[in-house]
Structure 1
Amino acid sequence: MLLSALIAASGLLLVATLSPGPNNLVVLRTAAQGGIAAAWPSILGIVLGGVTLLGVATTVGASASAWPLARTFIAVAGALYLGWLGLRLLHARGDEHASAALPAGITGLFCFQFLNPKSWVMALSLVAAFPPLGMVQTLAWLIPLFLLIPTASLLLWALLGQQLATHLRNPGLRRRVDRIMGLALLASACLLLL
């Protein structure tokens, strides 16, 4: 039972962290602008924020289902924030003004995990689906997964961003990429509200 739960949790984490979302887009853009070395603070902030969010979800996971209003508030607030980020990128002119709206660095992306509905859904779903082992044992099994899988996935997104770096020096192409990223964030926000 525990092995199948770990395999399921790993699969969900892998799909969730590889699929396009706000964290991946920030890492992609950061790596495109400054290479993988510049993306490391973002990756670290996302991973540490995810692990902390997992701890919060484990602590309140059981009672979260009893608070549907709180879950709705998190989803709506997060979707509105993602929508705002998406609109900023959609209206970018290919300069650095749009990236000022994106969370950045360790602290910014650590805090962003608590506004990111995708992160909440992932953490709460994993905790709810995991066998009832108690908080300490659940965290002991899930924290390594939350450290390794997102780090590897975000590194792949950083490599993709680094590959795009030479192309993004062209302001016209950068505008198109910003618009695509903006539309992806708006789509994520709309899907989260559904």
Structure 2
Amino acid sequence: MSVLISMAAFALAASISPGPVNIVALSSGRQFGLGPSLNHVLGATVGFVVLLLFTGFGLHEVLKQWPLLTDLIRWGGMAFLLYLAWKLAADNGRIDVDGATTLQPSFINGAIMQWLNPKAWLAAVAGMGAFVASGEASLIWSFALIYFVACYVSVACWAYAGAFLNRYLHNPSRIRLFNRCMAVMLSGCAVSLLWF
């Protein structure tokens, strides 16, 4: 039982701490509200749990054999984060009533972000190494289930925080400032990948 509590503590700490997926959830909650942002939340959660399962069942061994794949993931992640940062920075801050010109949060983008997120890779490898080094299938599945709950709740909290902040961001200049702060944070996440 104590190993499950340790798994839950690890999953919560890794999931709720700031990172690219959580910053996008915060921004999405601010722009679209909690309901639509839950698409991103679910995608990010499922994407991470699939990554965690693949890691637990041997993907980390493949990456050790072919380190070029790790570099490709890192550079792809940097490019994706910089693209998202540019989209946020370029936003004019006007609230789009019909939503026709704005990209809605999506399940697939949330899932892809996790696979391009170095924080997710580190959490998956470190978590599996710490709790399931034996490779026991039942422990891998238990860890994945615990992580699903912790990740969903954590990312949803960030989306809720963004929806809550929206109450205070009613004019375009405040929205632009918020979006540019989020863009700087995402750019910082992207630049930090140079040291992984």
Alignment TM-score, normalising by the size of structure 2: 0.83
Q: What's the RMSD between the two structures over aligned residues?
A: 2.5
Q: Pairwise mapping of residues 23-42 of structure 1 onto structure 2 (< 5 A)?
A: 23-42=21-40
Going from structure 1 to structure 2, the CA distance change for 1:155 and 1:183 (only over 3 Å counts) comes to: same
Going from structure 1 to structure 2, the CA distance change for 1:56 and 1:99 (only over 3 Å counts) comes to: farther
2:41 to 40, 43, 49: 43
Q: Which residue of 1 aligns with 2:185?
A: 184
8 A Cα contact 1:45 1:105, kept in partner:
yes
Q: Using the alignment, how far apart are the partners of 2:64 and 2:131 within structure 1?
A: 15
**1:8-34 deviation line (CA, Å, top 9, x unaligned):** x43443233222222112222222233
**1:157-193 deviation line (CA, Å, top 9, x unaligned):** 1221121112222110110011110000011111122
**1:114-140 deviation line (CA, Å, top 9, x unaligned):** 222222222122223333332522322
**1:67-95 deviation line (CA, Å, top 9, x unaligned):** 22221221122112212221332233214
Q: Which residue of 2 aligns with 1:56?
A: 54
SS at match of 2:190: helix
Report deviation, 1:5.
7.8
Report the residue type matching 1:138 in the other structure. Answer: L
Gaps spanning 5+ residues in structure 1: where?
none
Going from structure 1 to structure 2, the CA distance change for 1:82 and 1:44 (only over 3 Å counts) comes to: same
Report deviation, 1:99.
5.8
Q: Which deviates more, 159-168 or 33-42?
A: 33-42
8 A Cα contact 1:62 1:128, kept in partner:
no
Report the residue type matching 1:128 in the other structure. Answer: G
Report deviation, 1:50.
1.1
Q: Which residue of 2 aligns with 1:67?
A: 66
Q: Using the alignment, how far apart are the partners of 2:180 and 2:68 within structure 1?
A: 33
Q: Pairwise mapping of residues 4-153 of structure 1 onto structure 2 (< 5 A)?
A: 4=3, 7=6, 9-59=7-57, 60-95=59-94, 100=103, 104-134=105-135, 136-153=137-154
Going from structure 1 to structure 2, the CA distance change for 1:156 and 1:40 (only over 3 Å counts) comes to: same
Q: Using the alignment, how far apart are the partners of 1:140 and 1:27 within structure 2?
A: 26
Q: How many residues align?
A: 190
Q: Using the alignment, how far apart are the partners of 1:98 and 1:123 within structure 2?
A: 36
Q: Using the alignment, how far apart are the partners of 2:156 and 2:91 within structure 1?
A: 26
8 A Cα contact 1:61 1:128, kept in partner:
no
Report the residue type matching 1:82 in the other structure. Answer: L
Going from structure 1 to structure 2, the CA distance change for 1:160 and 1:153 (only over 3 Å counts) comes to: same
Going from structure 1 to structure 2, the CA distance change for 1:81 and 1:98 (only over 3 Å counts) comes to: farther
Q: Using the alignment, how far apart are the partners of 1:117 and 1:167 within structure 2?
A: 32
